[in-house]
Homo-oligomer: A and B are copies of this chain.
Amino acid sequence: MEKIVFSPNEGVDIQELERLCLKVGWPKRAPSKVETALKNSFMVASLCLIKEISQPDGSSVEVKRELIGMARATSDHVFNATIWDVLVDPLYQGQGLGKALVEQMIRALLRRNIGNITLFADSQVVDFYKNLGFEPDPEGIKGMFWYPRF
């Protein structure tokens, strides 16, 4: 039996995460840095695929646990949170899991009374986030990135 489990804020194995990021084609990042970034994220939500085998006595034993999705948020723990690094294993995309992952994260942030939930969306995922209730440039507010000047 297989099931998919969402954890709003549990430890993520750095090597598993590295494999997942590779699968979606993200550039490699130093594991020690990723570890620091996760430690200093307010929330690290994960999706795991769990394989279980049923026992004759009716109970079941976990035989495999695989990380298939992640999202994290930085925050001041009170007013604002910013969601970064949302990803779902390509094998499991298009089944509503990305949506569920972000929705669960929003719920978890609201439970912590964080009202200002923000993110920076790459152009190809703006519609994915619109679908989830995110609005681009509300009241003319602009997302801006600093670039070094040469």
A138 to chain B: closest CB distance in Å? 5
B residues near A42, Cβ cutoff 8 Å: 40
Decide yes or no whether A4 CB sits under 8 A from chain B. Answer: no
How many copies altogether? 2
B residues near A139, Cβ cutoff 8 Å: 122-123
Minimal Cβ-Cβ distance residue in B for A109? B146
B residues near A149, Cβ cutoff 8 Å: 133
A-B contact pairs, 25 of them (CB 8 A): A29-B79, A33-B79, A34-B78, A39-B77, A40-B76, A40-B78, A41-B76, A74-B76, A76-B84, A80-B84, A117-B145, A118-B146, A120-B143, A121-B141, A122-B141, A126-B144, A133-B149, A134-B147, A135-B147, A136-B142, A136-B143, A136-B144, A138-B147, A142-B143, A143-B143
**Interface, chain A (partner B; CB < 8 A):** 29, 33-34, 36-42, 72, 74-80, 82, 84, 106, 116-123, 126, 129-130, 132-149
